[in-house]
Structures are given as C-alpha cells and as structure tokens.
Structure 1
C-alpha cells in the first residue's frame, strides 16, 4: 500500500489534502477477512511511516532556519557593508534586522528521545565543543586544529587526526544528536575560517 507524502514534501500538497490521504480503517468493509488486530496494526504501521516523514520534514525546517540565519549573518558581515555610507548602512541593518525577526517567528522543535547514557554522552560532547569556544580566545590556531579533529570523528572516511575522546563520546549519542553535533562543528569551522580570512586582510 502506497504512503502519500506529507506537508513540506516536494509535491507541495496542502495539509487538508494530506489529511484526506492518511490511511483509515473502513468499519463497513465486510469483505476484509483479516482479524481486527492485524488490520489495526497495518494502519499503525502506515501512520508510523507518516510520523517519521513528519519528523524528517520538521528537522529539515530546523536546518533551513539555521542556514537562513547563517546566511543573513554572512551578508551583514560582508566587506561590502564597510563600503556603505553611514545612512545606507543603517538602512541595510534595519532591513536585515526585520528579516531576522521574521525568521525567528518560526519555531520548529523536534524532540529526541534519549536514555540516561545518551544524555550523559551528549553532555560530554557539548562540554568538549564549548571548550573550543573558550580556547578560541586563548589560542585560535589550536582551537581550530582541535575542531578539525572533532569534525573528523563525525566522518567515516577520514585522512586527518581524529580526537578519540570526542569520538567515544559521540558514539554514545543518538543518531539525531550526532547529526546536530556535526552541523554545529561545521558552523564553528566556517567561523574559524572566516576569522583566519579577516586576520589575513
């Protein structure tokens, strides 16, 4: 039995259309010889697929929002901004602030279920990454090098050095958390690269 796409999919179906296509049990289907429990379980299996598609779509929206905010930040810190007159820069800043405010009105949250060990592993990973931010003020070059070693721990095909402590903690996290950690490290690396480019100028 085919499962129809959910809102946010490439088909662009509206919510009302999707609701109409969700699987339903036909109480009047006298020709269906399957036991009631089997019929119900079949419907639940299909609905579970829809729920996972919903979670995936919401996670993608989270990523899209972060990417938009990151792009806005890049535009506002571009060299072109320093070429503007004060009045023009104020106009641009007000425009950008309005866009950021609109973006922040969108709240999407996908909760990740974790057991106690996964909670502890995530805490350890976040603690190590937070340490990078602190080290940035003292030794930016060493912090960037360590960030790369953390990033290598997130990848299966690695040529450089991998931080084993970080890798061990990361493996204890859920798959969803591992993906989020990787995105966070990617953002940090871009920040490091940006700092390096600015210092060279």
Structure 2
C-alpha cells in the first residue's frame, strides 16, 4: 500500500518517515498526571471543607461559648445568639459545596475499610462513657498508621485491617484519627477549666 505524501514534501518522502522524525509525546502519561493533579486538588478541597465545618462546629459548641462568657470580653446573650446565627449561616453555605473523590476498591479493600470504620465508630461511642480509655485506644490506632509510634503500643487488629485498605483510604483514616486526637485534647482542656 502506498502512502500519500504530506503536503509540502517531495513525493519520495512517506508520511510514516515524517511521523518517525517527530518527537513522541506519551499522551497517556500526560493525561494520567493531569487526572492525579485533579484528584489531589479535589481531595484538598474535601479536607478544607471538613476543616471549616469542624471549626464552625467548635464555634457553636456550648463549652466554647461558656469560655467566651467567662472571659474578659463577657459575651452577652444576644451576642451569643448572633455568633450562633452567623455560624449557622456559614455552615449552611458550606454544606452547599460537595466534593467527592471516589476511590476504586476491590472486595477485600471494601471489607478492610468496613472493619476500620467499625473500629473507629466503636471508639467514638466509647468516648461518651470513658474518654480516657477511648483516647488511649485512639493512640494505639494512630500508631498503626505510621512507622513511628506516638506513645505506647500499636493495635495489631486495627493495623491488620488498615493494611488491607487502599493508600487513599489509609491517608483518610490517619486524618480522621488525628482529628479525634485533637478532639480529645480539646475535651481535656475544657474539662480542666
């Protein structure tokens, strides 16, 4: 089969020869890089939104309002209502933003994530009855998420389930546990005062 010559080339040069001399661009790698940047950006937006919602929830928390009432600024009741209304408005607005990054998982990874979430949910429930024990357990879970331990031991059952999760899920679990540890620290601060 003959190949038609490219416009502007002599009839002796084939299209295949011209295409061989052009630099090769691997579009698959470029697209993959672009998709990963998009996923990373969307994940960051997800984190930012969650952090903002957490901050707003903290502002609405009665313990924080109590601290404001006791502070030198002496927050009055109508000021407290204004702060709550403002926080509610911002929270409602923030809830209109939905960012979702789907993580592809096989059946085994789904099961591992279910186990991890179940263990963390049990920890949150235990928080209500015994915060100190729940925090100690949370630290053992956090130790399973990193190569260096925060303090004490690692929960092997949690670690085993976590290792069955995708890398993205492992990162999210670590952030969730860090948020819980921060919450425990806030509880300790407010309970001391």
Q: How does 1:1-201 map onto structure 2 within 5 Å?
A: 31-33=18-20, 42-77=26-61, 78=64, 79-80=67-68, 83-158=74-149, 159-201=151-193
Structure-1-length-normalised TM-score: 0.78
SS in 1 for 2:154: coil
Counterpart Cα distance in 2 of 1:137 and 1:63? 26
Equivalent residue for 1:9?
Answer: none
Deviations 1:85-114 (A, max 9, x none): 111111111111111111111110000000
Q: CA deviation at 1:193?
A: 1.4
Q: CA deviation at 1:67?
A: 1.1
Counterpart Cα distance in 2 of 1:75 and 1:137? 20
SS in 2 for 1:32: helix
Q: Which has the larger radius of gyration?
A: 2
**Which consecutive unaligned segments of at least 5 residues does structure 2 have?**
1-6, 8-14
Counterpart Cα distance in 2 of 1:34 and 1:61? 43
Counterpart Cα distance in 1 of 2:85 and 2:101? 31
Counterpart Cα distance in 2 of 1:145 and 1:124? 19
RMSD (Å) for aligned C-alpha atoms: 2.1
Equivalent residue for 1:5?
Answer: none
Q: CA deviation at 1:179?
A: 0.6
Compared CA separation, residues 93 and 169, structure 1 to 2 (3 A): same
Structure-2-length-normalised TM-score: 0.81
The size of the alignment, in residue pairs, is: 170
Compared CA separation, residues 121 and 52, structure 1 to 2 (3 A): same
Counterpart Cα distance in 2 of 1:155 and 1:71? 26
**Which consecutive unaligned segments of at least 5 residues does structure 1 have?**
1-27
Counterpart Cα distance in 1 of 2:128 and 2:155? 21
